[in-house]
């Protein structure tokens, strides 16, 4: 059996999770992607295959604030921003998709910040 690297293991975990986690128009999916230096979050309606809102640490709005912050604090800013944009679109409840990552650190920071803004998981 070939040895799997971390990326392929994460993709396998994400595939298992995605078999159960499906976003609808009434309850879309909040998907988190974490790279080595940045993080992004999207709220997706899987029924129509459309990204409703998104936020990323690469956006100017967050990049200017997070210049002197660590990765966890900039992840909190991403969580707050995606939740604010979701509320503007009338989204109150979502299904959380951790993307195959462990639920701690930056992924947890996005989820907690979105909950603080009023999104229900």
pLDDT in 10s for each residue of the chain, 121 residues: 566 888 899 898 888 888 878 887 789 999 999 999 999 999 999 889 999 999 999 999 998 888 889 999 999 999 999 999 999 999 999 999 998 899 999 999 999 999 999 999 8
pLDDT of 86: 96
pTM of the model: 0.87
pLDDT of 78: 96
pLDDT of 104: 95
pLDDT of 1: 59
DSSP per-residue codes, the chain? -PPP-HHHHHHHHHHHHHTT----SSS-EEEEEE-SS-EEEEEEETTTTEEEEEEETTSHHHHHHSTTS-HHHHHHHHHHHHHHHHHHTT--B-EEE-TTS-SSTHHHHHHHHHHHTT-B-
Tokens of 119: 């999104």
Class of 6-116 per CATH? alpha beta
């Amino acid at each position: 059996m070939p040895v799997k690297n971390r990326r392929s293991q994460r993709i396998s975990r994400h595939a298992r999770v995605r078999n159960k986690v499906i976003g609808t128009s009434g309850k879309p999916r909040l998907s988190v992607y974490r790279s080595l230096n940045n993080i992004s979050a999207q709220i997706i309606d899987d029924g129509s295959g459309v990204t409703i809102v998104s936020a990323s640490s690469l956006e100017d709005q967050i990049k200017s604030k997070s210049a002197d912050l660590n990765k966890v604090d900039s992840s909190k800013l991403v969580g707050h921003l995606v939740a604010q944009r979701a509320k503007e679109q009338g989204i109150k409840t979502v299904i959380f998709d951790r993307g195959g990552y462990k639920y701690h650190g930056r992924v947890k920071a996005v989820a907690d910040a979105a909950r603080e803004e009023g999104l229900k998981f």
